[in-house]
Amino acid sequence: MTTQPKIRFAAIGLNHFHIYGQTNLLLKAGAELVAFYAAEPDLVALYSKDYPQAKLVGSPAEILEDESIHLVISAAIPSERAPLGIQVMEHGKDFMSDKPGFTTLEQLADVRRVQKATGRIYSIDYSERLETRASVKATELVRSGAIGRVIQTVGLGPHRARLAARPWWFFQRAKYGGILCDIASHQFDQFLYYTGSTQAEIVHAQVANYQHPEHPESEDLVMWSCAVQKARATSASIGSRPTGSPLGVMAGSRSWAAKATSSCANISILLAALAPIIFSWSTVRRPNISTVHSSSCPMAASWSPISSTAPRRR
């Protein structure tokens, strides 16, 4: 009888708090956290306080060159995750990135090339599918055949802006990849997974900056639709809640719904509670709207060979 050796892992890049979910997920699974690196003293202080068992190293190279470490996790600035993941795989280790796992199609192509050459794992955390109870239940229903074949998913993703708490890189599109990569990546992941697809065609995608002209590269709304031969998805991800005197109320949430065929009738299920979103029509400015084509959306361009595990939100 053989036993599985304990996975030893390290963290490089603590720029998003999702690193705590990634860390806790692995610790819960029985892995051992041995080291971490970050350039920011404040982030180092917070992480070391929560995980005193992890050794702070002086450079990423100390982790990359440590042959006893099997896996590296990262919630670095989004544009830096793919280059780091490539380094990790080239050093014979597996990599787990916070979402988004890359911010351009060129990064995606590079990751695919190195992953194929090294045979290592490049995984991405999608917490809204694997850690949300509604989504976990939806997975059980889909996999059991309880609702028939999934032919449509609908995703709504409101998100608080919290601009005062956002780091500087969140306001530079080249750094964070835009709202399609950031928030909407969850809905892309869910659509592909629930329909059993590995890639999809973007039918339409549109982003806008309604409320924050002081941050011209920020985006607070995205609407998109995509399709595969057997299914179709629509989604709206709202990156902020407008402020001011509310003149209307709209209900919405990060939710999942599937319409499926069975021998009896069409069945619709909605597996999330609707949360009210207050819209202030009196303060909405003329938005900066742009249409995004599939060539600029790496998350939806293709799913394989990226695998997924999920962090626990802190």
User: What is the full DSSP assignment across 260-276?
Assistant: EE-SS--EEEE-S--EE
Question: CA angle, corner 28, sides to 50 and 112, nearest 5?
Answer: 95
DSSP code string of 52-111? TTSEE-SSHHHHHT-TT--EEEE---HHHHHHHHHHHHHTT-EEEEPSPS-SSHHHHHHH
Token representation of residue 254:
């990060």
Which of 70, 105, 125 is the last residue in one of the domains?
Answer: 125
The answer as to whether 161 is a domain residue is yes
Task: Indicate if 79 and 184 belong to the same structural domain.
Answer: no
Same domain, 50 and 145: no
Indicate if 114 and 248 belong to the same structural domain.
Answer: no
Among the residue ranges 105-109, 138-142, 292-296, the one predicted with the least confidence is 292-296
Could you give the percent of the chain with pLDDT greater than 70?
73
- Residue 23 placed within a domain: yes
Query: What integer pLDDT is reported at residue 66 of this predicted model?
Result: 98
Rounded to the nearest angstrom, the gap between the alpha carbon of residue 206 and the centroid of all alpha carbons in its chain is: 19
Q: Which of 78-92, 212-226, 276-290 bottoms out in mean pLDDT, i.e. has the lowest?
A: 276-290
If you average pLDDT over each of 55-64, 152-161, 221-230, which comes out highest?
55-64
> Phi/psi at 182 (nearest 5 deg)?
-80, -80
Of 79, 100, 125, which residue sits at a domain end? 125
Mean pLDDT of 46-51: 97
Contact between 199 and 304 under an 8 Å Cβ cutoff? The reply is: yes
**For residues 54 and 11, is the Cβ–Cβ distance under 8 A?**
yes
Are residues 252 and 277 in contact, defined by beta-carbon separation less than 8 angstroms?
yes
Residue type (1 letter), 33: L
Residue 270's pLDDT is 31
Per-residue pLDDT band for 53 (boundaries 50, 70, 90) equals very high
145 and 57, same structural domain?
Answer: no
Domain annotation covers residue 266? yes
Which one is predicted more confidently, 183 or 79?
79
pLDDT digits (tens, 9 = 90+) for 243-279: 322 222 222 222 222 222 222 222 222 323 222 222 2
pTM: 0.74
Last residue of a domain, one of 125, 154, 188: 125
Find the range with the poorest average confidence among 47-61, 97-111, 211-225, 245-259.
245-259
Residue 144 falls inside a structural domain: yes
- For position 289, what pLDDT does the model report? 42
The mean predicted confidence, pLDDT, of the chain is 76
Tell me the residue type at 35: A
Residues 232-246 as b or e (16 or more Cβ within 10 Å = b)? bbbbbbbbbbbeeee
Cβ atoms of residues 271 and 135 within 8 Å: yes
- If asked whether residues 198 and 286 sit together in one domain, one would say yes
pLDDT for 118 beyond 90: yes
Residue 39 within a domain: yes
Q: List, in sequence order, every residue forming a beta bridge with 224; answer none if it has no partner.
A: 205, 235
| Structural domain harbouring 246 | 128-302
Are residue 67 and residue 14 in the same domain, yes or no?
yes
Across the range 209-219, mean pLDDT stands at 89
Q: Do 118 and 60 reside in the same domain of the chain?
A: yes
Is residue 175 within 8 A of residue 198, CB to CB? The reply is: no
How many structural domains comprise the chain? Answer: 2
Is 313 within the bounds of a domain?
A: no
More confident residue, 296 or 138: 138
- Looking up residue 67, the CATH number of its domain turns out to be 3.40.50.720
pLDDT tens per residue across span 83-114: 999 999 999 999 999 999 999 999 999 999 99
- Per cent of the chain over pLDDT 90 is 42
Task: Answer yes or no: is 1 within a domain.
Answer: no
| CB environment 59-91: b (16+ within 10 A), e (fewer) | ebebbbebeebbbbbbbbbbbbbbebbbbbbeb
56 vs 301, more confident: 56
pLDDT the model gives residue 222: 85
Handedness of CA 142, 145, 146, 150 (dihedral sign): positive
Residue with the two structure tokens 């068992």:
53
Structure letter (DSSP) for residue 145: T
pLDDT of residue 103: 95
Could you tell me if 24 and 117 lie in one domain?
A: yes
Average pLDDT estimate for 68-80 = 97
Give a yes or no: residue 307 inside a domain: no
